[in-house]
Structures are given as C-alpha cells and as structure tokens.
Chain A
C-alpha cells in the first residue's frame, strides 16, 4: 500500500492553484531580474526584516522594565552624584541625554553586532544568503527596526528623566541638533552593521571582544560626563566612536546657553566627522559582508551544521 494518498490538494480560497504564483516561461526567464526588481526586493527586505523588531516592541512588554526603568535608575545615580557635588545644573542634562543615547548603543552592540551570529545559530542566516536580496538589505532592516525600537526607549527615558529632574534645554539650532542626532544614529548603526559582519567572521571571539569593549566604550564616549574632561583620550574617542562625537555635539547644541567644557570641536565639525563615519562604516560593512560571504562559502560557515 502506498504511503501517499492520491487525493489532490484542494484549490485555495481564491480558486487559484496555490502552488502557482506567477508562472514564468522558463527558469532562465525567472532568473533575469530588472534593476527595478532588484531595488524593490532590497527595499522590501529592509521593511520585512525590520518588522519583527517593531512588532516585538508591542509584544514584549518586559522591555519597559529592562530598557526604561533600569537605565533610568542608572542615570538617576549620576544625577544624585552631580547634585551632591553641587555641579552646574547643565550636568544633570548631560547625564539625561547620555542616558537616552545609551539605549541606542545597547541596541547596536547587543542586537546589531550579535544579530548575524544569532541568525546563524537559528538557521536564518543560510536562508538569507540563499534568498535573492542583498544581505546589506537585511542589515539595514535590522538597523531600521532597532532604530525604531530604541528611539521609543530613548524618548521614554528622556521624557521621564527630564520631567523628574527638571532639566531645561536651550536649543538655538534645532535643525543642526536633529541633523547631528540622525547622523549619530546612522554612524552608530553603520558601526553595528560592520560589527555584525566581523562577529560572524570571528565567531565567539568577537563576542568576547565586544563584551570587553562595552564598559570602555561607555567610559570613553562620555555617556555620563562631558567628554572634554578626558583630554586626549576624549579627542581620540571623538575621532573613532560615533557615540562620543555625536553625544558631544548634541550636548553643545542642546544646552547652548550653558557653559560647556572646552577641548572638543564645534558641532559643525563634529557633524562632518559623523558624515565621514557614516560613509566609512557603511563601506567597511559592505566590504566585510562580501569577505564574510566568500570566506563562509569557502569554509562552510553559513550554518552551524557545518556540513
């Protein structure tokens, strides 16, 4: 007796054969895509890959505790330290702004940098590489979804902390402030995309490296104090870390009327540095992905099941 039933599958609700979507004349015809098809596929991939992150924002309520309340407590600790030391009031604002930007850094370092590694362990990575879109589109989708998710968290921390601690912002150049904010995020997520590729190439060693970098990056980015206080180390940080340069520029712009520690470039120069960072990180991440794919195909690293 056959192990199969021979009854045909019923047609779909629409009456069409569900196993035929868009018939093509031949495999060769199906394999030839126009530039528009390629571009639209990459664009749709960005949206598709961002979807789980944005959806998760509404489905996993635990983030309210872990991503807002806990960072808020950390920020609050520095607020009380500055108050105890009778620091100028703008320092409270510096800390609150740094606390808000922490959400993005955490997202980049933990959810962008590790993501491809995680996708590999889940079995998603080989499906991504086996699909026709550019893998950069997946990374952009991850970044976009992470940006939406972290923006919500950052805004929540900013609003709560501002209200609770009575922070007063003084902004003269709104456009530049918003521009610097967006450039900071672009550079941050560009760095995340680069790290994601490197993570995959180096495996768990990169994971340990990132763990090793978390606290030092916190420190040299000046999340809880003006980076100018770090002197030369601060200057170095500004030249390589998007969070450091972006936060410094935003603090200068958000507290325009207040005395700001000297020793860092003007916001415009810092904006220019961010532009360079965006370009460099995106180019490097694209290059790293290409290298990664080639090496992974040579060495069989696209799946955990190496065979």
Chain B
C-alpha cells in the first residue's frame, strides 16, 4: 500500500524473467523489486539489453514473469489481466501499429472501439485528441503517409483514448526529431497533470529525458536495478562538491585569493578558457571552482568584487545521469556490445537525443544564472 492506503501504482516483488532461447537461456530480469506511488512519473533508465522492455511487457500483461509477482494498482498482472487492461495503455517508440489504408481519424476511432467507446463518442474523442496532439492538418491523411513524428503523436493519442490511470511509455521519443520529441514530452506532462493520481512509467536510455521528466528513476542494467532515487539524489552519488565555472573580465591574483576563501575546495583557470580578443576587444578568463556547497558561492562573489574582477557569466556544472551509470557499473551506456538481447531494435545509442542539446559522459553545464 502507498502512504494514502491506496494500492501502489506499480508493485513489483522479486520479478525474474528468463527467455529460453538458444544457445543458452537469457536472463532478462534478475530479481527486480520496484514500488511506484500513484501520481509518480517514474523512469527506467538503462542501456540496450537492460531489461526495461521486458519489465514493461510484464506490467502490461503481455508477458508472464518466470518468478515473482507484480501488481498494478493492486491488480495481479498474472491473474487480473482484464482489470489492468481497462485502466492502462501503452505506447512504444517506433510503433507501426494500425492500418496504413485508414486515415488518422479512422485509425484512432477503430482503436476507440476496442476500449468500448460508443461510436459517436469515439469520433468526438478522436477529434479532441487530434487537436490536443496538434494533428489537425493530418486528420484525414492516410496513416501510411505520416512522418515518424506524426505517427508517434498519433500513437500517443491512441494511448489516451481510454483515459488510462497508468501509462506505459517504452522509449516513446525514439527516432523523433527535436520538435516531435519535445511535443511528445509535453503531451506526457500535460496528460499526467490533468488528473491527480495518473502514473507514468517511462523507459528510456536518453538521460536528459529521464532527468527532465521523472520524479524518480531506476537505473537498470543486465536485469537488475542498480540505483533508485530522484535525479538529484542519483547525481549526488557521484558529485559531493558544487562545481561552478566563472567567467571573469580579469584575473590578476584572484585565483590565489579564491583558494584561501572558506568553503572553496579548489580554484583553477580553465584549460580551454577563451583568451581571444572578442569583437569588443574584451578579454575573458574562465575559472573552474569547486565548493564545499552552494552556500560558499556568496563569499566567492564578494571576494571577486573586492578584487575588482567583474563576473561576466556563472554556470553550475552538474554530473549527468550517465555519469551516475558509469560510476555504478564502470562503463557507459553504449559500451556494452554484447547486451543486445533486449531492445535490439534500438539503433540509437543515446547520444545527441532529439530535443536535447546536451551530450553524455561530460558533465552537463546548465546555465543557471548570467550576471554579466
């Protein structure tokens, strides 16, 4: 039970799933325990082959676990499939479902009938959702002629036809361009925000996506949950200091002064500092600053002002979730060449995800404040 005596949205205990394939059985899930509260936006983050899709298939009643038990809002995924299917829906990345001969409107209506919407209500509901996902211009376009992004928006609308309480999204932005990926993410948030208690389980191997959307994240690999927590909690596992990069108009002895300040762990001039002459003949110096915590920043700013150095820009550097992953397993997302038994259809390796301007591995720099 969750804290409010409501059953947990997802309650997974000791789930193990083995595929009996040749030449040897594959253990896709190896004793997974997971509890998700109603109303949570929960992310499963992991590389190809981690077991994310297997877990989603078990939770959506499409696959039986080899061992263990799982419940969705209290309903057993093995025995109470009908109840679960009435309150959930799912969308997968790269989904090609439906019939190309139908128009978008017809296709969605057809799926609405599978959820028992009266015919006229179905058409109205479809029109509403077409508007909501911004596909007014494609309303009467044949499904076979849709672009990947349009198709995924349509799939998303399909997933919302029955007003699910829990929405399973398996790599929903896979292969989408910047704009389409952003639209899909906005739709996820808008849908979830509309009714308290709605729950989303998102699997992804796009770190920035999980970071931005999820209340909590489980990092999975080789069928096991390696770490679980909020994005901030997970990132704090690998960074115990606050790291800033400060751009100054002059240095002149400030570095030494900064190092002596309380709360400053280190202060070094950035190796890649831009010392070139700018259009306004402005010379800038960048300093990497490691502090015990954010509170020490005030002293640094005051000291720099006292030294006559003007702060042109200030950025806080944060570790990425992949840094967390590397810390946990000692390799990056795309470094496991043998782990292709799961999500083998996913060609993307997680770098340069559409809709995000961030890379991986390198510490992500988020501009939090510009003082110049």
* A25 CB → nearest B CB, Å: 10
> How near does chain A come to B38, taking the closest CB pair, in angstroms?
8
Q: Which chain A residue has the least Cβ–Cβ distance from B21?
A: A306
Instruction: Name the segment of B59-67, B265-273, B298-306, B325-333 touching the other chain.
Output: B59-67
> Is B62's CB under 8 angstroms from A302's CB?
yes
Residues 15-43 of chain A: 1 if any B CB is under 8 Å from the residue's CB, otherwise 0?
01111111110111011110001001100
* A59/B101 in contact, CB under 8 A: yes
With a cutoff of 8 Å between Cβ atoms, the chain B residues found around residue A4 in the complex are 182, 185-186, 189, 212-213
Which residues in window 90-138 of B have CB below 8 A to A? 90, 92, 95-99, 101-102, 106, 109-119, 124-125, 127-129, 131-132
Q: A28-B74, A130-B60, A303-B62 are in contact. Are A45 and B114 (CB under 8 A)?
A: yes
Q: Tell me the B276-293 residues at the A interface (CB within 8 Å).
A: none
Q: Measured between alpha carbons, how far is A2 from B209 in the docked complex, in Å?
A: 10
Q: Which of B184-222 contact A (CB under 8 A)?
A: 185-187, 189-191, 194-195, 197, 208-209, 212-213
B147 contacts partner chain A, Cβ-Cβ < 8 Å: no
* Stretch from A74-82, A118-126, A276-284 contacting the other chain: A118-126
Report whether over half of chain A's contact residues are helix, strand or loop; otherwise say mixed: loop
A48-56, A146-154, A165-173, A260-268 - the one binding chain B: A48-56
Residues of chain B with a CB closer than 8 A to A41's CB:
114-116
Residues of B within 8 A of A175 (CB): none
- Are B63 and A48 touching (Cβ within 8 A)? no
CB of B64 within 8 A of CB of A298, answer yes
Whether B128 contacts A48 by the Cβ 8 Å rule is no
Q: Determine whether A86 belongs to the interface, using a CB cutoff of 8 Å to chain B.
A: no
> How far in angstroms is the closest Cβ of chain A from B65?
10
Q: What's the count of A-B pairs with C-beta under 8 Å?
A: 197
- Contacting chain B: which of A6-14, A179-187, A231-239, A249-257? A6-14
A50 to chain B, nearest CB (A): 9
Which of A12, A19, A30, A307 lies in contact with B341, CB distance below 8 A? A307
B-side contacts of A298, CB under 8 Å = 64
Known contacts A48-B114, A123-B92, then 16 further A-B pairs from the complex at CB < 8 Å, ordered by chain A residue: A1-B357, A1-B367, A19-B191, A19-B195, A20-B163, A20-B194, A23-B163, A27-B73, A51-B102, A52-B99, A52-B110, A55-B106, A124-B98, A127-B111, A133-B115, A303-B62
What are the residues of chain B within 8 A of A129 when measuring CB–CB?
61-62
C-alpha gap A169/B315 in the complex (Å): 90
- Evaluate contact between B182 and A3: CB separation under 8 angstroms: yes
**Please, which residues of chain B bring their CB within 8 A of the CB of A24?**
163, 165
Residues of A within 8 A of B367 (CB): 1
Contact B129 A31 (CB under 8 A): no
Interface residues of B (CB under 8 A from A): 6-7, 9, 19-21, 28, 38, 53-54, 57, 60-64, 73-75, 82-90, 92, 95-99, 101-102, 106, 109-119, 124-125, 127-129, 131-132, 160-163, 165-166, 182, 185-187, 189-191, 194-195, 197, 208-209, 212-213, 341-345, 355-357, 366-367
Residues in chain B near residue A61, CB distance under 8 A: none
Say yes or no for A85: interface residue by CB 8 A criterion: no
The yes or no answer to A44 lying at the interface (CB within 8 A) is: yes
Interface residue A297 (Cβ < 8 Å from any Cβ of B): yes
Are A13 and B128 in contact, CB atoms less than 8 angstroms apart? Answer: yes
What residues of B have a CB within 8 angstroms of the CB of A26 in the complex? 6, 197
Closest B-chain residue to A14, C-beta based? B128
Whether A49 contacts B116 by the Cβ 8 Å rule is no
Q: Do B97 and A51 have beta carbons less than 8 Å apart?
A: no
Please measure, in the bound complex, the distance between the C-alpha atom of A127 and the C-alpha atom of B164, giving whole angstroms: 14
Q: Which of A28, A37, A124, A299 contacts B73 (CB 8 A)?
A: A28
Give the residue of B62, B106, B129, B165 whose beta carbon is less than 8 angstroms from that of A18. Answer: B129
* In the complex, chain A residues whose CB is within 8 Å of the CB of B160: 19, 21
> Whose C-beta in chain A lies nearest to the C-beta of B158?
A127
C-alpha spacing A16/B119, complex, angstroms:
19
Pairwise interchain contact A27-B114, C-beta atoms closer than 8 A: no
Enumerate chain A interface residues (CB-CB to B < 8 A). Answer: 1-5, 8-9, 12-14, 16-24, 26-28, 30-33, 37, 40-41, 44-45, 47-49, 51-52, 55-56, 59-60, 122-124, 126-133, 138, 297-300, 302-303, 305-307
CB pair B97–A127 under 8 Å, yes or no, is yes
CA distance A60 to B163 in the complex (A): 34
- Which of B101, B117, B185 contacts A44 (CB under 8 A)? B117
By a CB distance below 8 angstroms, the chain B residues around A130 are 60-62, 85, 88-90
**What A residues does B366 contact at CB under 8 A?**
1
- Which residues of A lie under 8 Å from residue B117 when comparing CB positions? 44
Query: A128 to B53, Cβ gap below 8 A?
Result: no
Across-interface contacts of A132 in B (CB, < 8 A): 82, 85-86, 114-116, 162
CA distance A236 to B82 in the complex (A): 42
Q: How far is the CB of B83 from chain A (nearest CB, A)?
A: 4
Q: Are A307 and B343 in contact (CB under 8 A)?
A: yes
Query: Is there contact, CB below 8 Å, between A16 and B128?
Result: yes
**Closest Cβ–Cβ distance, residue A2 to chain B (whole Å):** 6
Q: Report chain A residues within 8 Å CB of B356.
A: 3
Contact B102–A31 (Cβ < 8 Å): no
A131 x B355 contact (CB < 8 A): no
The smallest beta-carbon distance between A58 and chain B, in angstroms, is 10
Question: Once the chains are docked, how many angstroms separate the CA of A299 from the CA of B28?
Answer: 13
**Are the C-beta atoms of B116 and A20 separated by less than 8 Å?**
no
B67 to chain A, nearest CB (A): 13
Residues of A within 8 A of B96 (CB): 122-123
Of all chain A residues, the one with the shortest Cβ separation from B60 is A130
Check A122–B97 contact: CB distance below 8 A.
yes
Interface centre among B28, B83, B185, by most A CB within 10 Å?
B83
**A302→B90 CA distance, assembly (Å):** 14
Once the chains bind, are A12 and B131 in contact (CB under 8 Å)?
yes
Whether B86 lies near A124 (C-beta < 8 A) is no
Contact A27 B197 (CB under 8 A): yes
Which 10 interchain pairs have the tightest Cβ spacing?
Answer: A48-B113, A41-B116, A18-B132, A19-B194, A31-B83, A27-B73, A27-B165, A21-B163, A44-B113, A131-B114
Q: Do B90 and A45 have beta carbons less than 8 Å apart?
A: no
**Is A3 a contact partner of B209 (Cβ separation < 8 A)?**
yes
